[in-house]
Amino acid sequence: MVVIYGLVDALLPGIAIQARFRLRHFRRDARHTWHKGCHGHPELCESLEWLLSTAISRGEPTLTSVIYHNPDCGTSRNTLAMMRHSGDEPHVIEYLKTPPSRVKLIDLLAAMRLTPRELLREQDPLCSELGLDDPSLDSEQLIDAMLAHPALIDRPIVVTELGVRLCRPSEKVLDLLAYPPSEFTREDGEVVRLGEVS
Residues assigned a catalytic role: 73
Say how far residue 189 (Cα) sits from the centre of its chain.
Answer: 23
Residue 134's DSSP bridge partners are: none
What is the sign, positive or negative, of the torsion defined by CA atoms of 120, 124, 126, 128? positive
Q: Which residues contact 23 (CB under 8 A, 6 or more apart)?
A: none
191 Cβ partners below 8 Å, 6+ apart? 183, 184, 185
Q: Which of 47, 166, 158, 65 is nearest to 103 (CA)?
A: 47
Cα 157 to Cα 75: distance, rounded to the nearest angstrom:
11
Alpha helix segments (H runs only) across the chain: 2-11, 13-38, 42-57, 74-85, 102-112, 116-119, 125-129, 139-148
Euclidean distance between CA atoms 188 and 14, whole angstroms: 37
